[in-house]
Every structure is written in structure tokens, then in C-alpha cells.
């Protein structure tokens, strides 16, 4: 039997994995400068956590989660007929915000003296239809700010950090979209008006939108069906229904983005896919991803901590970047070359040269160079041919003559030039070549 990866998942192989490492390290570096620390979360949680946080009627919980019973693989007949508590069901995480909030509450982080700033990265799981840049096991990089303040400056700084990260990874053509979806006081009034208007055109909508009229009318605004676009454009807009407090909050977020030199476009249809969002919502799109071109989304969720058993005074805002989609956009747009690669192929000829090559390889690696040292001696032509196939930048040649003279023959494989260098000059030459 030939085993293959199951539908909707994939292996991330070299050299692409080197680009992933670079993207993830850029997130650590940038987020760290804004005072964020990494949190590592379990990949499964009690199902009820996601039902309560995301919403039982959302598409994610309704039809996309991987949920299973928390029982041993070997189940005897008695266990099969026993009533199973809902607490015995576990779900592979479809997103990470709920897990971050659960950890925040469980570990008493609300007692810390200031806002808690956390970031995470890792796999998520949803049983979606696989398509370009979308998988059933997909990866996210995200960040959350939890604390007692909902100041607009926090929203603006989170977005500033996000845009700084995209600049660091050289993402081209990124566009920031912004909206406010109100609060639990003003949004219900708008939702009911929206529901009423949607009922009038119900028969013109597809099955998913018809279902959402009852469960979550805001999600109809997010429809991508071409046949529904003209209908949606005629619907009432939430900006006209924001309360004075939400309007002031939104205006100040926009003002503070301006102070940071961050450009944006307002999108009244930007509602996000999860029920816990309120007030500020935002999304980043990028080229090379087709019609569904979002690479990041986020927003404010001031009631989620209380919903999950924490203090009502705790507010939150965060975002999640689709790492698969970000890497795809970087590759498609040519924004970056895959990093890494082999600096040196160190060919040796003779017993004395092998001993010298082993020592030199160790010193080169200690200095941060990527070195391939063959385990067995090969003929000269075969050795250089392998260096070419491995796409090494340089071949270092060590024979008995080089050992006796205390030098190394350095061949630049791109243009074929070569020279003999002593070790101090060799290190300087390789550093200069790496830095361009």
C-alpha cells in the first residue's frame, strides 16, 4: 500500500520550509519590539470552548470542526452504550483566540499590572473545501492584547505592528480594510433591521445566505456569490446605526492610524466570520491569491473574556495571519527569494585533507555558514558535480597540497573563478559574498 497525505493537508518541504522559518522569525522579531511574548497552546480543547466562543450557528462550528470523543481507542461494549458527557468531546482548534483567552483566565493573567500582549503560531484545523492557499490543516500567526482598556490607540498600535511585520517580510500590494460593527447596544438594532430587509429578498438569495438570515444576518454581507452582490449593495449600512460611543471610538482609531502614517480603505461589509467580534474589524488583502485574497483578519472582542468565565472588565483585540496564504502571496508576487541555501560544499582528497576538512567545517558552521561535508572521498569531477546539483555557492577544495600550504582552493560555482585563500581571508571572503 502506498501512503499519501490525506485530502486537504500537505507536506512543506525544503526549500519552501526555509521561507516559512524566515516568515515566522520575522513575526517573533517584530512582535517582540512591541512588547509581545509567545504563548504555546494545545492543538485540541473541549468542544464547548469553541461552541461558546465562536458560536454554535457559525459555519465553523456548524460544519467545519474536527470533533471526537475523548475515549481510548479500544472501547469495550459497556463504554459503547454509556451516555457520554459533552465534556468528553474534544475539538482540534479551528482558531486560536478562544484558546488564548482560556489560558489567560486559567492562569490568572488578569492580575498582571498591565495589558497582556501575546502572540502564537501553529496549525489550525477546519474541514473546508481545499483550494488554492486553503487547507484543512492550515497555519496561523496571530497576536492578542487582553486587559481593562479598550482605548482606540491599542487598536491602532496592533494594526501598526501588523503592517510593520508585512513590511519586514516584503509583502507587496498589501491593502488594509477597516470597519466598525458596533457594540452589544447598537448592533442588535442594526441586525434586526438587516434581517428585515433580507427577508424581503429571501428568495433571491442562495441557501447559505437564507440560513444566515436566521442565524447571523451580518454574515450575508460577507457573501462572495456574484448573484448576491447587487442585492447586498442596497442593504442598510452599519455606519448609519452606530451609537455615539462606537462612532467616537471608530473615528479615533482612524485618526490614530493617520498619526502612524497607515493608509486604509473603509469597507462597510467587513464583518469577520466569528461571532465574538465587536467595534473595530480589519482585514489585509494581498495579490496572488485569487478572488478570496485575504491574508489576515482581526478585530476587537470586548465581551469574549466574560463569555468564557473571566472578568467582565477585560477587553481584547487581536488578529490572525494565514501563514499558508502569506507564503503563497510572497512566492506568487516575487516579493522575496527563498532564503537559506548551501554556502559551501567542502570537497576533500586524502586522509590528511579529511582531518583538516572536518575541523574547517566545524569552524565554518560555528560562524553561521551552511556547509556540506561529504562522508566519503569522491573523484574530483564527481565531487564538483554534486556541489552544482546541491546549488552550493562555493566549492572549497582541500587536497594534500592545500593542507601542506595552509590554504583552501575556493571556487565560485556561478562564474567558475577560483583562488587560494588562507583561513582568515576565507572567512572574510565568504561573509562578503553572502552579504552581496
User: Both 278 and 396 in a single domain?
Assistant: no
- In the chain, the number of structural domains is 2
5 in any annotated domain: no
Residue 388 shares a structural domain with residue 322 = no
Is there a single domain that holds both residue 34 and residue 137? Answer: yes
State the CB neighbour count (10 A cutoff) for residue 97.
24
**CB-side exposure of 387: number of CA atoms within 13 Å?**
30
**SS3 of residue 163 by DSSP:** helix
Helix axes 152-168, 16-33, angle to 10 degrees: 150
Q: Which residue has the higher pLDDT, 38 or 131?
A: 38
Q: Whose grid coordinates read 522559518?
A: 21
pLDDT at residue 152 in the model: 95
- Length of the chain counted residue by residue: 436
In this prediction, residue 57 carries a pLDDT of: 60
What's the farthest any 2 CA atoms get from each other in the chain? 91
pLDDT given for residue 59 in this prediction:
63
**Is the separation of the CB atoms in 409 and 426 below 8 Å?**
no
For position 81, which CATH number holds?
3.30.930.10
Residue 168 and residue 271 share a domain: yes
- Regarding whether 361 and 283 lie in a shared domain, the answer is no
Domain end marker among 303, 333, 363: 333
Residue 251 lies in a domain: yes
Same domain, 363 and 259: no
Q: Tell me if 377 sits within 8 A of 354, measured CB to CB.
A: yes
Final residue of a structural domain among 333, 360, 395? 333
Three cell numbers, residue 46: 473541549
**Span 245-258, mean pLDDT?**
96
Write down the H helix ranges in 284-406. 304-307, 323-333, 351-366, 380-389, 400-405
Residue 209 lies in a domain: no
pLDDT in tens, 13-36: 988 898 999 999 999 999 999 999
Q: Residue 233 domain-assigned?
A: no
In a domain, 322, yes or no: yes
Q: Is 6 inside any structural domain?
A: no
Place of cell 473545501: 129
State the average pLDDT over residues 311-325.
94
pLDDT surpassing 60 at residue 84: no
Residues 12, 23: Cα–Cα separation, whole Å: 14
Q: Which residues contact 287 (CB under 8 A, 6 or more apart)?
A: 172, 173, 293, 329, 332, 333
Residues 322 and 422 in one domain: no
CA distances 264 to 175, 260, 289, 370, 379, Å, are 7, 12, 20, 41, 60
Q: What is the pLDDT of residues 213-233, one digit of tens each?
A: 887 888 888 777 888 888 888
Residue 197 falls inside a structural domain: no
| Inside any domain, residue 57 | yes
* CA 26 – CA 166 distance, rounded (Å): 9
The verdict on 355 and 324 lying in the same domain is no
**Domain end call among 311, 333, 355:** 333
Residue 55 φ/ψ region, left for φ over 0, alpha for ψ in the -120 to 50 degree band, beta for the rest: left
DSSP 3-state assignment of 300?
strand
The three grid cell numbers given for residue 324, joined into one nine-digit string: 499558508
Write out the residue range of the structural domain in which residue 414 sits: 344-434
Confidence at residue 275, expressed as pLDDT on a 0 to 100 scale: 63
The residue among 227 and 378 whose pLDDT is bigger is 378
- Residue 392 and residue 316 share a domain: no
What 3-state class would DSSP assign to 142?
Answer: strand
Is residue 433 within 8 Å of 411, Cβ to Cβ? no
CA-wise closest residue to 97 among 130, 154, 52, 159: 52
Q: Are 180 and 270 in contact (CB under 8 A)?
A: no
Grid cell for residue 358: 572536518
Write down the pLDDT at residue 56: 60
CATH number at residue 421: 3.40.50.800
Residues 387 and 316 in one domain: no
The pLDDT score that the predictor gives to residue 234 is 83
Same-domain status, 49 and 135: yes
Residue of 321, 33, 306, 303 lying closest to 150 (CA atoms): 303
CA-wise closest residue to 235 among 220, 247, 254, 214? 220
Are residue 117 and residue 179 in the same domain, yes or no?
A: yes
Element (H, E) at 77: helix 77-81
Amino acid at each position: 500500500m502506498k501512503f499519501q497525505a490525506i485530502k486537504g493537508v500537505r507536506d512543506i518541504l525544503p526549500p519552501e520550509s526555509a521561507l516559512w522559518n524566515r516568515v515566522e522569525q520575522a513575526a517573533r522579531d517584530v512582535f517582540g519590539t512591541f512588547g509581545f511574548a509567545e504563548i504555546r497552546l494545545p492543538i485540541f480543547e473541549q468542544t464547548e470552548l469553541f461552541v461558546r466562543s465562536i458560536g454554535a450557528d457559525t459555519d465553523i462550528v456548524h460544519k467545519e470542526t474536527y470533533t471526537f470523543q475523548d475515549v481510548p481507542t479500544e472501547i469495550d461494549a459497556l463504554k459503547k452504550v454509556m451516555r457520554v458527557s459533552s465534556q468528553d468531546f474534544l475539538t482540534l482548534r479551528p482558531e486560536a483566540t478562544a484558546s488564548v483567552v482560556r489560558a489567560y483566565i486559567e492562569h490568572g493573567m488578569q492580575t498582571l499590572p498591565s495589558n497582556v500582549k501575546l502572540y502564537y503560531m501553529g496549525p489550525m484545523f477546519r474541514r473546508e473545501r481545499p483550494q488554492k492557499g486553503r487547507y484543512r490543516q492550515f497555519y496561523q500567526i496571530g497576536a492578542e492584547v487582553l486587559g481593562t482598556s479598550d482605548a482606540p490607540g491599542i487598536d491602532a498600535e496592533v494594526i501598526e505592528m501588523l503592517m510593520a511585520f508585512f513590511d519586514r517580510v516584503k509583502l507587496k500590494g498589501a491593502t488594509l480594510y477597516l470597519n466598525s460593527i458596533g457594540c452589544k447596544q447598537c448592533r442588535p438594532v442594526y441586525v434586526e433591521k438587516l434581517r428585515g430587509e433580507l427577508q424581503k429578498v429571501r428568495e433571491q438569495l442562495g441557501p447559505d445566505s437564507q440560513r444566515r438570515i436566521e442565524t447571523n444576518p451580518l454574515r450575508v454581507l460577507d457573501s462572495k456569490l456574484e448573484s448576491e452582490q447587487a442585492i447586498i449593495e442596497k442593504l442598510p449600512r452599519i455606519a448609519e446605526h452606530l451609537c455615539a460611543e462606537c462612532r467616537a471610538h471608530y473615528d479615533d482609531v482612524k485618526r490614530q492610524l493617520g498619526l502612524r502614517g497607515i493608509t486604509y480603505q473603509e469597507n462597510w461589509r467587513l464583518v469577520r466570520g466569528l461571532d465574538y467580534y465587536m467595534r473595530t474589524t480589519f482585514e489585509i488583502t494581498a495579490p496572488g491569491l485569487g478572488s478570496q485574497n485575504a491574508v489576515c483578519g482581526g478585530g476587537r472582542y470586548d465581551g469574549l473574556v466574560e463569555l468564557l468565565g473571566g472578568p467582565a472588565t477585560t477587553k481584547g483585540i487581536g488578529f490572525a495571519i494565514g501563514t499558508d496564504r502569506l507564503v503563497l502571496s510572497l512566492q506568487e508576487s516575487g516579493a522575496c527569494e527563498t532564503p537559506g541555501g548551501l554556502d559551501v560544499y567542502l570537497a576533500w582528497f586524502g586522509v590528511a585533507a579529511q582531518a583538516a576538512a572536518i575541523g574547517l567545517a566545524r569552524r565554518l558552521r560555528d560562524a553561521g555558514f551552511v556547509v556540506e561535508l561529504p562522508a566519503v572521498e569522491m573523484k574530483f569531477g564527481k565531487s564538483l558535480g554534486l556541489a552544482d546539483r546541491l546549488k552550493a555557492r562555493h566549492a572549497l577544495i582541500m587536497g594534500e597540497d592545500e593542507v601542506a600550504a595552509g590554504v583552501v582552493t575556493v571556487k565560485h560555482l556561478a562564474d567558475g573563478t577560483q583562488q587560494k585563500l588562507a583561513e582568515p581571508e576565507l572567512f572574510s571572503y565568504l561573509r562578503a559574498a553572502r552579504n552581496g
